Amino acid sequence: MEKNKKILLIIFIITLVVRLVLAFSIPNLTYESYYHLRHVEHIKETGTPLFQDPLSYGGREVLFLPFFHYLMAFFDLFLPTIVITKIIPNILIALITITSYFTAKKITKNETASLLSSLITGFLPILFFTNSFTVETLSLPLTFLTIYAFMNINSKKHLYLYVISFLLLSLTSFSAFLVLIGFGIYLLLSKIENKKTNKAEVEVIIFSLFFFLWVQFLFFKSSFIRKGISFIWQNIPSNIISEYFPTFSIPQALLLVSIIPVLTGAYIVYNSLFHLKNQKAFLLISFVIATTIFTWLKLIMFKQSLAFFGVILAILFASFYNDMETYFNKTKLSGYNRIILPVTVLLLLLSTVIPAISSALQQDTPTNEEIEAYRWLKDHTPKESGVLTTLEEGHLVTYFSQRKNMMDNQFRMVKDVEKRAKDINALFTTPFQTLALDLLQEYNLRYVVFTPSAKEKYGITKINYATRNCFEPIFKGESKIYLVKCEIKRVK
Amino acid sequence: MTAETTAKETDSQDFLSPENKIYSHLLKHQKKYFVSLIILIFFFSAWSNFLVGKPVLGGGESYHLLNLIEKGEYTYNPLVLLLAVIPQNLILIIPLLLSLLSLGLLSKLCEKMELPKNISFFFILFLIMSPTFIYSFITLSSYSLFLSLTLLGFLLIMNKNKTLRLFSLIPFISASFFDTSSAIFLLSLQLIYFWENKEKKEQLPVIVVAMTVGVMLLNKLFLKTPLFNGPYHLQRYFPDLISDFGGLNGIGFFTVLVAITGLFVTWKKKNFYYAYLLLLIVIPGYLFNTEIVFILSLILLFFAAVGFVKLFENKWVLTSLKGFTLIILLLGMIFSMLTFLDRVNELSPSPSDQKVLSWIRENTPENTVVLSAPENSYYVKYFSKRDPLFYLNDPDAEEKTETVQLIFSAPYIQDLFPLLEKNKVSFVYITPQMREELPKEQGFLFLLKNERFKLIYSHEGSEVWEFKKESAENAG
């Protein structure tokens, strides 16, 4: 194996090891992961996706692209759950280091610069959600594999790679659409700049566009008919939309994407747009523009868009390093060439590794004690019961307790999502017992779970209306479970 | 191996060339296949309607026209006149006959205009598969007759026989009677045609144009013909054009995409200037009134056929992808068609609309006003013989729509009751769709709990509520 490939392998292994150490040092998965885990287990048991979920929101239709869940269900047949949920997602994310390397090499032809890109990608703080078992752990590497294959589309091997990766991406996540919009912008910019577009690229784009749309119509036919084009927005309730699409904050972006890739990326984007040199870098810039448009239109979540930006900027760093090296060689500073690399590596490590580890340690996961309370519910409550929890903990109810929740973070297709979001807040904050009982009755909720996470979220120490005569504590500890004993009777 | 090498290997894979045996067979026997496809689609939609017991005719316009005939209010709309003179039983087959007639005429016109065989083949195929065409099987549509008359007019005028050409005046004049926008569209077509054939020195063009303008002015100034026919349903720009987004007809999403491709590939090509011109006339019209989606669909389907042919006639570097893309595209179009066919039996009026509204006719006093969603007004009138609050094509529809919105969103009975009393509403007809769309915890559905409302009949989720007059003691 050549030296550079060995270094690349080492970067991949180090990235993976650090990720796994962090993943296993945190006992549980992020809240949303349990939603996906439940679907994976359902596919494993029945062979079909759970499109009619009897527990989420008390029972509703859930529509999703199922490739990620099928893939994980396949591994689940012969691997233990911990491997599926902690090791495979981290391997997938760590694989982006390899794609970044090859993409950067395609753009710059500079081995060292490409290895640096790979290193930055490996330790991007925004990608350090090590306990996350979500679709993004597959869609992100697939997206960058698709982009890399597209850059080499004239080779038959890469054409096959492109077709396979794009097909899988279309069956995994809506981010395939982001790729298509990126391609569209690329063609548009090429046209504006009078650059000759490769015919094969245009053909691949046409194929991808029709295939993607076909898949979406196949899976979401009924939603398109019922909701029309508004279906592509995620139906996030207005009172929590700021959590999913926070106002853009430069310090946060610098922290999550890391300062060096952001600054160098901005330089390269500026330089390429106004003094276009490299058409391949130009393609990546098109994806930056597409991501910006998607974020602005609130089509992808802020964290997803930052992850996408982060990897692209990491790849574009190779261009910057390449330019810098060339520049140094041309000037009297060429004597300092030997120290550029170690200084760069040191700066990169300092600016990425620490924020990355800090990001991983700050992941929002339930505690063992909280999970214990949800497990207890499964064994001690009737099967048809509804359980009140915070929105974030909704998936814990459906996964561990196997009971109906009032709400979780899968908002698509939920008709009364605004009302539910308002009511769930009222149920944790109202001092009025009658209002609470009325709402609990409306949503058929017989149990209330009050965890430390709920305390922290709502800034309360107890549920004010939970008096003993109407709310009997049946599980005591840090987390409490109440049985609702009273009901409101309407007088006619 | 590079993609260029692959291209050389598979140059022979030309799907739309006479060398392709399947395609040349389809092209040769296209008429048989088209007729079979039409029969298949018609029987599928008729069968699915029959299974659920749905009325044969659908769409607000059908019932609007039937209401006019029942009341003896004959307008100058040629379709109304046609329906008035034919026996009642034959009315049901008029939509099918009109669709078949327009398709046949269109096919003949494509031949006459010497349109490339590939383009005319796909144009007709896409048209048959389009929800617009399928919907026209079950709807009495003025635009369907307008199209037939227009096509017939052009077929006659293209004839070498002078007498037959003179006969073109009859369909042209008839086609000018529908509404002003159709007459303008017809006039544009005539001007384009005569401009293209200006070398023929004769008087007929002048007569045809003068007659069309004359009838148009006569209609506008003396007969007060509306600018647009309809609307007969609540208008929504995207779904009304793209059936996959829940519209009543229109065309499929894939067809729209291929039509856009067609627009791109024909851009700046001289032969297509007129098609663009027609688009420029029809699109603003569509923005005013989406009922003209019928005509817009036709133009877009033409561009889709052009786009499709150009896309697959061109040599591809990646030939294997060309085959895949062709299959995906055709599957996408078939998928849109099947999705629409699957929905045909869900389109209004439903069997329960018919049953519940007939119950109103038999069990409520005459001369009462029935409140329902605006798009149900034509069915309310036809089946219950009671007056709805208003019709969507009334001149004051905008103002009345606001009143209905105020009624359905009134938060308190103090706001609601005066509105119902002022509009003399005695009964309310609630459909399952209204139950789904209106908020339950506030507004009209919530206020139905008041004692002045009484549920008097319900069937499969459709309900009739009586709005009782205020009793004397309460009033006092």
Token output for B45: 């939609």
Task: Name residues whose C-beta falls within 8 Å of residue B364's C-beta, 6 or more positions apart in sequence.
Answer: B384, B386, B426, B427
How high is the mean pLDDT of chain B? 84
Contact check, Cβ <8 Å, A211/B328: yes
> Would A489 be classed as within a structural domain?
no
Over residues B172-194, the mean pLDDT reads 88
Contact check, Cβ <8 Å, B317/A200: yes
Residues A336 and A402 in one domain: no
Q: What number of other Cβ atoms are within 10 A of residue A473's Cβ?
A: 13
How many domains does chain A fold into?
Answer: 2
Q: Give the domain-ending residue among B345, B365, B384.
A: B345
Q: Give the domain-ending residue among B345, B369, B403.
A: B345
Considering only CB atoms, A210 lies closest to which of B4, B332, B339, namely B332
pLDDT score of B473? 47
Which of A150-164, A253-267, B229-243, B261-275 holds the top average pLDDT?
A: A150-164
pLDDT score of A257? 64
Does the pLDDT at position A275 exceed 80?
A: no
B:336-365 residues touching chain A, CB 8 A cutoff: 336, 339, 343
B:364-423 residues touching chain A, CB 8 A cutoff: none
Interface test with B, best of A150, A151, A159, A201 (most B CBs within 10 A): A159
How far apart are the C-alpha atoms of A456 and A451, rounded to whole Å? 9
Interface test with B, best of A163, A166, A207, A442 (most B CBs within 10 A): A207
Helix (H, G, I), strand (E, B) or coil at A80: coil
Write phi, then psi, for B467 (nearest 5 degrees).
Answer: -105, 105
> Would A268 be classed as within a structural domain?
yes
Residues B285 and B355 in one domain: no
Nearest chain A residue to B318, by CA: A200
Residues B271 and B306 in one domain: yes
Helix (H, G, I), strand (E, B) or coil at B387: strand
pLDDT score of A355? 84
Our CA-based measurement puts residue A211 at a distance from the nearest CA of chain B, in whole angstroms, of 6
Task: Name residues whose C-beta falls within 8 Å of residue A91's C-beta, 6 or more positions apart in sequence.
Answer: A16
Q: How confident is the model at residue A1 (pLDDT cuts 50, 70, 90)?
A: low
Q: Packing angle between helix A136-151 and helix A96-108, nearest 10 degrees?
A: 20
Q: How confident is the model at residue B434 (pLDDT cuts 50, 70, 90)?
A: confident
Interface test with A, best of B234, B317, B320, B329 (most A CBs within 10 A): B317
More confident residue, B89 or A431: A431
Q: Give the domain-ending residue among B315, B345, B375.
A: B345
Q: How confident is the model at residue A324 (pLDDT cuts 50, 70, 90)?
A: confident
How far apart are the C-alpha atoms of A149 and A98, rounded to whole Å? 13
Tens digit of each residue's pLDDT (9 = 90 or more) over A452-478 = 999 988 888 888 888 888 898 888 888
Q: How confident is the model at residue B476 (pLDDT cuts 50, 70, 90)?
A: very low
Residues B374 and B333 in one domain: no
pLDDT score of A490? 63
Contact check, Cβ <8 Å, B328/A207: yes
Contact check, Cβ <8 Å, B332/A224: no
Residues B222 and B206 in one domain: yes
Exposed (0-12), middle (13-18) or buried (19+): which is B464, by Cβ within 10 Å? buried
Please report the number of interchain residue pairs, chain A to chain B, with beta-carbon separation below 8 angstroms: 82
Residues B223 and B163 in one domain: yes
Token output for B259: 């039509």
> Would A251 be classed as within a structural domain?
yes
Q: How confident is the model at residue B9 (pLDDT cuts 50, 70, 90)?
A: very low
Our CA-based measurement puts residue A439 at a distance from the nearest CA of chain B, in whole angstroms, of 12
Residues A357 and A377 in one domain: no
Tell me if A291 sits within 8 A of A307, measured CB to CB.
Answer: no
pLDDT score of B276? 84
Does the pLDDT at position B353 exceed 80?
A: yes
More confident residue, A405 or B219: A405
Residues A347 and A373 in one domain: no
CA torsion, points B23, B28, B31, B32, in degrees to nearest 10?
Answer: -80
Tens digit of each residue's pLDDT (9 = 90 or more) over B99-113 = 888 888 988 888 888
Q: Which residues pair with B369 in a beta bridge?
A: B387, B425
Does the pLDDT at position A55 exceed 80?
A: yes
Considering only CB atoms, B321 lies closest to which of A207, A227, A419, namely A207
Tens digit of each residue's pLDDT (9 = 90 or more) over A216-239 = 888 888 777 777 767 777 777 777
Q: Give the domain-ending residue among A361, A394, A422.
A: A361
The domain spanning residue B369 has which CATH number?
Answer: 3.40.50.12610
Integer CA distances (angstroms), A171 to A147, A174, A207, in order:
16, 8, 15
Residues B224 and B339 in one domain: yes
Over residues B366-375, the mean pLDDT reads 87
Q: Give the domain-ending residue among A361, A381, A414.
A: A361
Does the pLDDT at position A440 exceed 50?
A: yes
Helix (H, G, I), strand (E, B) or coil at B370: strand
Residues B282 and B358 in one domain: no
How far apart are the C-alpha atoms of B54 and A337, rounded to whole Å? 82
Residues A468 and A338 in one domain: no
Contact check, Cβ <8 Å, A210/B339: no
Q: How confident is the model at residue A279 (pLDDT cuts 50, 70, 90)?
A: low
pLDDT score of B451? 84
Q: Which residue has the tokens 């609130």?
A: A298
Residues B298 and B380 in one domain: no
Contact check, Cβ <8 Å, A211/B318: no
Domain that holds residue A46: 3-361
Q: Which residue has the tokens 């504590």?
A: A473
Tell me if B259 sits within 8 A of B303, measured CB to CB.
Answer: yes
Does the pLDDT at position B142 exceed 90?
A: no
Q: How confident is the model at residue B199 (pLDDT cuts 50, 70, 90)?
A: low
Over residues A14-28, the mean pLDDT reads 93
Q: What percent of chain B has pLDDT over 70?
A: 95
**Of A12-21, A176-185, B465-474, minimum mean pLDDT range:** B465-474
Which chain B residues are within 8 Å of A206, Cβ to Cβ? 311, 325
Tell me if A6 sits within 8 A of A14, measured CB to CB.
Answer: no
Which chain B residues are within 8 Å of A209, Cβ to Cβ? 257
Does the pLDDT at position B177 exceed 70?
A: yes
Write phi, then psi, for A174 (nearest 5 degrees).
Answer: -70, -10
Which chain B residues are within 8 Å of A213, Cβ to Cβ? 253-254, 257, 332
Q: What percent of chain A has pLDDT over 70?
A: 93
Does the pLDDT at position B17 exceed 80?
A: no
Interface check for A163 against chain B (CB to CB < 8 A): the answer is yes
Over residues A189-204, the mean pLDDT reads 84
Our CA-based measurement puts residue A95 at a distance from the nearest CA of chain B, in whole angstroms, of 27
Which chain B residues are within 8 Å of A221, Cβ to Cβ? 244, 335, 339
How many domains does chain B fold into?
Answer: 2
Residues A406 and A435 in one domain: yes
Over residues B217-227, the mean pLDDT reads 82
Domain that holds residue B360: 351-475
Interface test with B, best of A61, A210, A442 (most B CBs within 10 A): A210
Which chain B residues are within 8 Å of A153, Cβ to Cβ? 3
Residues B65 and B205 in one domain: yes
Tens digit of each residue's pLDDT (9 = 90 or more) over B73-131 = 777 788 888 888 888 888 888 888 888 888 889 888 888 888 888 889 999 999 989 99
Which chain A residues are within 8 Å of B244, Cβ to Cβ? 217, 221, 224-225
Does the pLDDT at position A441 exceed 70?
A: yes
Integer CA distances (angstroms), A87 to A17, A23, A71, A101, A406, in order:
10, 8, 14, 22, 32
Q: What is the DSSP string of A376-441?
A: HHHHHS-TT-EEE--STTHHHIIIII--EES--S--TT-TTHHHHHHHHHHHHH---HHHHHHHHH
- Give the side-chain half-sphere CA count within 13 A for B444: 22
Residues B273 and B175 in one domain: yes
How far apart are the C-alpha atoms of A386 and A73, rounded to whole Å? 28
